[in-house]
Amino acid sequence: MAGEPVNVNEFQELARKVLPKMYYDFFAGGAEDEYTLKENVEAFHRITIQPRILVDVSRIDMSTVILGHKTAAPIILSPSAAHQLAHPEGEVATARGAAACNVIMGLSFMSTCTVEEVASSCNAVRFFQTYVYKRRDVTEFMVRRAENNGFRAIILTADTPRLGRREADIKNKMISFRLRNFEGLISTDVVSDKGSNLAAYTEETLDPSLCWKDIAWLKSITKLPILIKGVLNGEDAMKAIEAGVAGIIVSNHGARQLDYSPATISVLEELVQAVQGKAPVLLDGGIRRGTDIFKALALGAKAVMIGRPVIYGLAAKGESGVKQVIEMLKNELELTMALAGCCSVDDITRSHVETEKERFLCKM
């Protein structure tokens, strides 16, 4: 690829060239056949945009408010593990990129920089993502630690009673990376002769008994609002609202857990209708263009979460790569809004998109 990247997809090839194969495969790979990995992106291609003409779009405002925090665009950096495998500055560089672009950053429970390092690095609004370990005291300590360091919300990842079968990691014998947040708390040294050491570590630590009643426990240990990540159907969305969560994240874990689960954009509208405006719904998975963000907003998402593209930008160019990826998506969204006749994110409505099902029914 010659010259500077002109869209976020081109950062993936840059990342592939600079990362060791084990690490690139870890970030890029999905579960088993990777059907859902492909569908997360391709499902957006089956949604068309219905523009309006002769609208004064001389001023475009992409800003929005997420859980009380105003951001420059409806974008959150999705929490993802081990940024130092992509770049030595790791999550600190990612946080600084988010702060420079005035968007929210999600920090992973499995980060390679510490909570304190990220908190002190910049003034980005930060949400902390957590798993629930068999040793609940570890999870409680980390949640309280994030709250004490100025994080503004907790993201509970709820789709991981066990780790999905990530065959590239098995073939590469993916090593478990250094988790400095847990030093002195729990051992992260796991030896496995069956493939991925990371899979062996999560098998030992994640609590497969986690269920709906445990939301009350999590609420009891923090004053922060809780978003639940991994919801893929309306029934679970309603249960989440009944449990008192502050937000719903439509996610299939970047297609890294259950293969052949639905593409997130394909079920977004069902969840929005189930929630009935009682909590914001965020969309995670498959975002590669500003048009994708527009489509998600039109189908009812309050904001979208960006995962792999941020990692690819970080791998290729560090903090500046993170900023480039975010700014590319913001610029594309701004252009899409102008061409579609929308001056603000509130102007983006359901009538601005048409799904494949709707086109099929029109032809009947």
Could you give the residue numbers annotated as active site?
253
Is 351 marked as a binding-site residue?
no
Is 285 marked as a binding-site residue?
yes
Is 260 marked as a binding-site residue?
no
Is 69 marked as a binding-site residue?
no
Is 108 marked as a binding-site residue?
yes
Is 104 marked as a binding-site residue?
no
Is 46 marked as a binding-site residue?
no
Is 130 marked as a binding-site residue?
no
Is 288 marked as a binding-site residue?
yes
**How many of the other CB atoms lie within 10 Å of CB of 267?**
21
Is 131 marked as a binding-site residue?
yes
**How many of the other CB atoms lie within 10 Å of CB of 163?**
19
Is 347 marked as a binding-site residue?
no
- Which residues are annotated as part of the binding site for FMN? 79-81, 108, 129, 157, 229, 251, 284-288, 307-308
Extract the annotated binding site for glyoxylate.
131, 166, 253, 256
Q: Report the binding-site residues.
A: 79-81, 108, 129, 131, 157, 166, 229, 251, 253, 256, 284-288, 307-308
